Amino acid sequence: MPYFLSPKVLFGKGALEKLGPEIEGKGSNAVLITDKTMVKFCERLVETVRDAGYEVKVWDGAEQEPSIEVALAGSRVLIDFEPQWVIGFGGGSAIDTAKAAWVLYERPDLAGKPIFPKVELNLRQKAKFLSVPTTSGTGADVTWVAVLTDIAENKKIIFAHNDIVPDISVLDPELTTGLPKGLTASTGIDVLGHAVDGYTSRQQTDFSDGLCLQAMKMAFEWLPKAYRDGSDPLAREKMQNAATIAGLGFGNSNTGLSHALAHSVGAVFHIPHGRAVGIALPYSLEYISSNPPLPNAPDPVERLVIAARFVGINANSDQERIQKFIQKIRDLEREIGEPLSLKEVGITEKQMKEEIETLVSVAGADPNMYTTPCKCKEENLRQLFQDIWAGSFVI
Ligand SMILES: NC(=O)c1ccc[n+]([C@@H]2O[C@H](COP(=O)([O-])OP(=O)(O)OC[C@H]3O[C@@H](n4cnc5c(N)ncnc54)[C@H](O)[C@@H]3O)[C@@H](O)[C@H]2O)c1
Ligand SMILES: [Fe+2]
Each residue's pLDDT, cut to its tens digit, for the chain (395 residues) gives 579 999 999 999 999 999 999 999 999 999 999 999 999 999 999 999 999 999 999 999 999 989 999 999 999 999 999 999 999 999 999 999 999 999 999 999 998 888 888 889 999 999 999 999 999 999 999 999 999 988 888 777 889 999 999 999 999 999 999 999 999 999 999 999 999 999 999 999 999 999 999 999 999 999 999 999 999 999 999 999 999 999 999 999 999 999 999 999 999 999 999 999 999 999 999 999 999 999 999 999 999 999 999 999 999 999 999 999 999 999 999 999 999 999 999 999 999 999 999 999 999 999 999 999 999 999 999 999 999 999 986 54
pLDDT of residue 394: 55
Q: Do residues 84 and 127 make contact, with C-beta atoms less than 8 angstroms apart?
A: yes
The residue nearest atom 30 of ligand 1, judged by CA position, is 179
Burial 360-373 (b: 16+ CB within 10 A, else e): bebbeebbbbebbb
The number of the ligand nearest the C-alpha atom of 198 reads 2
Q: Ligand 1: residues within 6 Å at CB?
A: 35, 37-38, 64-65, 90-94, 96, 134-135, 137-140, 143, 145-147, 175-176, 178-179, 183, 187, 190, 273-274
Q: How far is ligand 2, taken at its centre, from the CA of residue 274, in Å?
A: 6
The pLDDT score that the predictor gives to residue 281 is: 98
CA 143 to ligand 1 centroid distance, Å: 14
Q: What's the 377 CA to ligand 1 centre distance in angstroms?
A: 31
Of the candidates 344, 325, 387, the residue with the CA atom closest to the CA atom of residue 192 = 325
Q: Do domains 8-176 and 181-390 have the same CATH topology?
A: no
Question: pTM (2 decimals)?
Answer: 0.97
Q: If DSSP codes are grouped into helix, strand and coil, which group holds residue 198?
A: helix
Ligand 2 centre distance from Cα of residue 193 (Å): 6
Helices (H), the chain: 20-23, 43-51, 68-81, 92-106, 181-200, 206-228, 233-251, 257-269, 273-289, 300-310, 318-335, 349-364, 368-371, 378-390
* Ligand 1 pocket mutation, candidates 147, 197, 258, criterion most atoms within 8 A of CB: 147
82 Ramachandran zone, left/alpha/beta (phi>0; psi -120 to 50):
left
Write down the architecture of domain 8-176 according to CATH.
Answer: 3-Layer(aba) Sandwich (3.40)
Of the listed ligands, the closest to the CA of 278 is 2
Write the single-letter amino acid at 246. A
181 burial via Cβ count (<10 Å: 0-12, 13-18, 19+): middle
**Side chain identity, residue 214:** Q
Ligand 1 pocket check: which of 89, 181, 183, 253 to mutate, most ligand atoms within 8 Å of Cβ? 183
How do the domains of the chain map onto residue ranges? Answer: 8-176, 181-390
Fold classification of 181-390 is: Dehydroquinate synthase-like, alpha domain (1.20.1090)
Give the nearest ligand 1 atom to 266 CA.
43
Report how far ligand 1's centroid is from the alpha carbon of 181 (Å): 14
Q: Whose CA is nearest to atom 26 of ligand 1?
A: 91
What pLDDT sits at residue 152? Answer: 83
Contact 103, 133 (CB under 8 A): no
Measured in Å, residue 135 CA sits from the centre of ligand 1 at 6
Whose alpha carbon is nearest atom 35 of ligand 1?
179
Helix (H) or strand (E) run with residue 8 in it? strand 8-11
Taking the C-alpha atoms of residue 182 and residue 177, their distance in angstroms, rounded to an integer, is: 13
